Amino acid sequence: MDAMNKVLSTENAENVEITHTDSGYLKVVLKAPKVLAVKDPENPYVEMKEGLTADFYNRQKEKESNISSEYGINYQAKKLIVLKKNVKVVNTKGEKLFTEELFWDQTKEKIYTDKFVKIVTPDQTLTGYGMESNQDFTNWQIKKASGELNLNK
């Protein structure tokens, strides 16, 4: 069967909550109002057209960070989630990331983007292009920083 005749099955769901555990520990709770799962044998994906939120937890079951966006797509075989439109990440240190597109590599447990970013900390606001962090946004760096830096701390 060629690509033009490929039959895909889809599943729709509302008010979805997905939990991810590792070695018996809760790692992530993802919630989405509507989900479309496309069962493509070559590239299965789950699309969240009405947005999503994800809470990340440490081994003590304490929430470490939260990600939200207006759109998300999870490429299951690649273990890659792409977040778009008003992406916001907040960690327990009160640091906030704002961008329009963010990639979440579940295998490497990293989040990153090459787009414009704004990071607001309790002492300063940093901007630039490109950012990389661990997935709970507790250890981040801006690739091409711009704006004013407070070096008094």
pTM of the model: 0.85
Residue 17: CATH number of its domain: 2.60.450.10
pLDDT tens track for 58-78: 888 889 999 999 999 999 899
111 located within any domain: yes
- What average pLDDT does the structure give for the chain? 89
- pLDDT for residue 20: 84
The DSSP 8-state label assigned to residue 12 in this structure reads E
87 located within any domain: yes
4 located within any domain: no
Quote the number of domains for the chain. Answer: 1
152 located within any domain: no
The size of the chain, in residues, is: 153
52 located within any domain: yes
91 located within any domain: yes
34 located within any domain: yes
Q: Is the CB of residue 141 less than 8 Å from the CB of residue 133?
A: yes
- pLDDT for residue 14: 94
The domain in which residue 14 lies consists of: 9-146
1 located within any domain: no
**Per-residue pLDDT for 1 more than 50?**
no
Amino acid at 59: R
Q: Is the CB of residue 112 less than 8 Å from the CB of residue 102?
A: yes
Amino acid at 16: V
More confident residue, 9 or 133: 133
**Per-residue pLDDT for 4 more than 60?**
no
Helix, strand, or coil (residue 95): coil
Of 4-13, 40-49, 96-105, 115-124, the poorest mean pLDDT is in 4-13
- pLDDT for residue 48: 95
Q: Is the CB of residue 119 less than 8 Å from the CB of residue 147?
A: no
Two structure tokens written together for 52: 């999503």
Two structure tokens written together for 44: 């299965």
pLDDT tens track for 105-153: 989 989 999 999 999 999 889 999 999 999 889 899 999 987 665 555 4
